[in-house]
A and B are shown apart, each in its own frame.
Chain A
Amino acid sequence: MDFRLTKEEEEFRQEVRQFLQSESELIEKVRWEETLGTGWGESTKELLRKAGARGYLTPAWPKEYGGLDASNVERHIVAEEMAYFVGRMGAVGVGMAGPVILRFGTEEQKKTFLPRISRGEIEFALGYTEPEAGSDLASLQMRAVRDGDYYIINGQKVFNTACHYADYHWLAARTDPTARKHHGISMFIVDLDSPGITIRPLIGLGKIRTNEVFYDDVKVPVERLVGEENRGWEYLVAALAFERTWYAGENIYELEELVDYIKNTKRNGKPMADDPVVRRDIAQLAIEIEVARLFGFRIACMLDKGNIPTYESSMTKLFGSETAHRLADEWMKILAQYGQLDVGSKHAFENGRMGRVLYNRATRSLITAGTSEVQRNIIALQLGLPRG
């Protein structure tokens, strides 16, 4: 047992940290792009390419695909540092599509996509959710019909964030409507500029853009089927066990900002940091963030020992996201009326970033990647409670 990083792990962390510190100007611009909510802009893409060139986007991948053959703990360390210095990135190519291609793709697909994902040159948009398939994703209806060298795909997706700035759609579609629902789904890589694809914006709280996407007879070459037909659900679920985690770095950063704010802001003639109630609330958040941090490292440690997380992944995402929401809530409490000022307003604190980004978007992570309610269901079932 050793709760500290090894000497090598610590050295690696310092190396990553130094890189991120050296890019502080670029990172300011990346944070601004995130604040706007319009998606990855040029600065974000530039940062990802720089990080990718060093292998930091996919450190645990084999070197031949751009990785560093790093351990899962080292991968977690990089992601935590990025979360601390840059904030939430949510890269799909790196986090969801890439790992499936790595495990289940053809050699051709691996060569075509993995190095470019690793170098931050391309991005994928998740193509899962539909109007009638949210939490019950396996009910998805988008239809892919084999026709010679192509699949012809028709249907509709919703809440497919990143479609407006990504290169490829990581698409789940039904190839066998006669099979039981989990056994008729296939995974495809689709060029987002394919004819027949229409992307329309949907704006969420905090002005964050997502999309509804329509497929009208879109032709996708058979080489773009990932793995075997009708086994897409397995790949999707396998990826989740490895990818569902939490990087407490962003919360640690936000808490440090909050501590800074209360030390420098007065209420009733005294710094808010002198208020014992405020101090206790912040201490409680620090405690919860530490639990979230340990949960995240637990996943990485398990993977390095060859143990597949079961309920631990859901628990980590559940607790991390709900802690982040409580932190956002505390920020809004502290900001009081200033929290209601949006980006660009006179008197807004930090350009209104906290109100728009932190609080208005904090609810989102309790819904995406499996709602809190679904995560609790999963935890319960994996702990041995009976199915309904």
Chain B
Amino acid sequence: MDIDFSEEQEMLRKMARDFLTTKCPGTLVREMMEDEQGYPPDLWREIADLGWLGLTFPAKYGGEDGSFLDLAILLEEMGRVCFPGPFFSTVLLGGLPILHLGNEGQKRELLPKICKGELLATLALTEPEGRFDPSGVTLKAVPDSDGFVLSGTKLFVPDAHIADVIICVARTSQAAGETDKGITVFLVDGKSLGLERSLLKTVDGSKQCELIFKEVRVPSKAILGEVDKGWGAIGRILELAAVAKCAEMLGGAQRILEMAIQYANDRQQFGRLIGTFQAIQHHCANMATDVDGMRMTTYQAAWMLSENLPCRKEVAIAKAWASDAFKRVAFIGLRVHGGIGFMEDHDVSIFYRKARTDEFSFGDADFHRDVVSRELHIA
């Protein structure tokens, strides 16, 4: 048993940290929270040049042949600075479904563009009930002469307003009692006729959208995978996305802990550093325990996913823990900073808001606790 990263992985981390610390200060993050597009094109080009967009894609599609574990490390560093831009959506929610479900032609057409930063993509899964399970998929895809017609609403879709390609999870048939059958995945052009995209205004500045599909026609060749059989791969994508999100959350939580420790070593009240008070010390110890719990469970799940091992329980453990822990760390971290932590222009308040958003991404703690209880065969 070995819980350490390889030398190459440590180098990737260091390089990413150095780059992101310089290029993504809190001022930029706050600016992008207000900006509709949500990212600076120069920065996007730079990370494409660094090979980050193609990190987990095979070299034959323009990628770097990296592992999911490598990607988790990168995402942790991006989470540390609250990286602004459609990286998570394009790579995990766009690229991975294409890689896992697409035919050779679709992969060759789309993945190289994603790797070069020339194509933005995302996954439209959740609907107004905000669910991540197959029963939540009700948007209809009805066959017509040379394809399908999509009608319905998707909600909380990340970066859909700027996506060139939207991967839509739709229902093509309904089998009684088997909601995971009858789901088909479609590649939808972001500018499709009948597709209304609007950006929702969020408290944390994350770019989430409402998509209204009004009889959007999609040709047969735009189906990813097979008709009615899309859920299996989507289920796996959700596991990858949930753990990838945990890695981002871990970076943010670690950063909050460091900020709190730094502040406790700077701020004086009552003639002494506030870090000498036991309440502050215990807050930091509790935060550190939460962060390290995130670290161990996230990287266990990320490693197992990287090795293609069955790990439904470990994925659920990681996201359930992270959903609760990131919130706790953000809450305590803000309070350690006192009044200034409450101010919008302080970095810690960015993470406080982000923790409440990330709590629900790809299933909240209760959703994943239910997965764990099924895996324990309690029922």
Contact = CB atoms under 8 A, between A and B. Distances in A.
A111 interface: no
Interface in B264-303: 264-265, 272-273, 275-278, 280-282, 284-286, 288-289, 292-293, 296-297, 299-300, 303
Interface string B345-369: 0000000000000000000001001
Given A291-B321, A311-B288, A385-B275, A282 B376 contact: yes
B379 interface: yes
A376 B286 contact: yes
B373 A280 contact: yes
Contacts of B69: 1
B261 A388 contact: no
Interface string A270-302: 000110100110111011001100110110110
B2 A318 contact: no
Interface string B227-263: 0000000000000000000000000000001000100
Interface stretch (A3-11, A15-23, A134-142, A200-208): A3-11
B72 to A, nearest CB: 11
B317 interface: yes
A357 to B, nearest CB: 23
Contacts of A283: 320, 369-370, 372-373, 376, 378
Given A1-B6, A280-B366, A315-B289, A287 B264 contact: no
A376 B288 CA distance: 10
B212 interface: no
A279 B265 contact: no
A59 B7 CA distance: 31
B1 A375 contact: no
A376 B145 CA distance: 67
A287 B303 CA distance: 18
A90 interface: no
Contacts of B304: 3
B19 interface: no
Given A283-B376, A319-B293, A386-B264, A376 B276 contact: no
Given A2-B1, A297-B1, A279 B378 contact: yes
A192 interface: no
A79 B370 CA distance: 31
B134 to A, nearest CB: 19
A219 to B, nearest CB: 43
A77 to B, nearest CB: 9
A286 B272 CA distance: 42
B261 A376 contact: no
Contacts of B276: 385-388
B178 interface: no
B311 to A, nearest CB: 10
A385 B296 CA distance: 23
Nearest to B294: A291
A4 B310 CA distance: 13
A297 B261 contact: no
A282 B378 contact: yes
Tell me what chain B mostly uses at the interface: helix, strand, loop, or mixed: helix
Contact of A385 (B264, B289, B376, B379): B264
A294 B370 contact: no
B2 A2 contact: yes
B1 A3 contact: yes
Interface residues of A, number: 48
Q: Most chain-B Cβ atoms within 10 A of its Cβ — which of A287, A311, A387? A: A287
Contacts of A2: 1-2, 303
Given A283-B373, A380-B284, A305 B4 contact: yes
Contacts of B370: 276, 279-280, 283
A291 B297 contact: yes
Contacts of A384: 261, 265
A376 B279 CA distance: 10
B293 A291 contact: yes
A385 B373 contact: no
Nearest to A274: B379
B76 to A, nearest CB: 14
B236 to A, nearest CB: 19
A237 interface: no
A73 interface: yes
A383 B1 contact: no
B284 A383 contact: yes
B312 to A, nearest CB: 13
A179 interface: no
Contacts of A274: 379
A9 B2 CA distance: 12
A262 B275 CA distance: 45
Contact of B281 (A5, A6, A284, A385): A385
Nearest to B300: A3
Interface string B50-70: 000000000000000000010
A133 interface: no
A377 interface: yes
A343 interface: no
Nearest to A380: B281
Contacts of B303: 1-3
Given A386-B265, A388-B276, A287 B376 contact: no
B3 interface: yes
Contacts of A286: 317, 372-373, 376
Contacts of A5: 1
A36 interface: no
Interface of B: 1-6, 9, 69, 257, 261, 264-265, 272-273, 275-278, 280-282, 284-286, 288-289, 292-293, 296-297, 299-300, 303-304, 314, 317, 320-321, 366, 369-370, 372-373, 376-379
8 residue pairs, one from A and one from B, having the closest CB atoms = A380-B281, A376-B285, A294-B296, A379-B285, A283-B369, A283-B372, A279-B373, A388-B276
25 contacts: A1-B2, A1-B5, A1-B9, A3-B299, A262-B378, A273-B378, A279-B369, A283-B369, A283-B370, A286-B372, A287-B297, A291-B297, A291-B321, A294-B297, A301-B4, A373-B282, A375-B285, A376-B281, A376-B285, A376-B286, A383-B261, A384-B261, A384-B265, A385-B261, A388-B276
Interface of A: 1-6, 9, 73, 259, 262-263, 273-274, 276, 279-280, 282-284, 286-287, 290-291, 294-295, 297-298, 300-301, 305, 311-312, 315, 318-319, 373, 375-377, 379-381, 383-388
Given A279-B379, A287-B369, 9 more contacts: A2-B303, A259-B377, A262-B378, A280-B369, A282-B376, A297-B3, A315-B285, A373-B278, A379-B285
